Amino acid sequence: EFKNQVFSVGFGYKF
């Protein structure tokens, strides 16, 4: 058993 961990980088665009 384990827990997920996530580092993330990204971009967003708002309409």
- Contacting another protein within 1-15 (CB under 8 A): 1-15
Distance (Å, rounded) from C-alpha 15 to C-alpha 3? 35
Distance (Å, rounded) from C-alpha 3 to C-alpha 8? 16
State the minimum distance, in angstroms, from the CB of residue 14 to another protein: 4
State the minimum distance, in angstroms, from the CB of residue 2 to another protein: 4
- Please give the size of the binding site for another protein, defined by CB under 8 A: 15
| CA-CA-CA-CA torsion sign (14, 10, 7, 2) | positive
| Residues contributing to the site for another protein (CB under 8 A) | 1-15
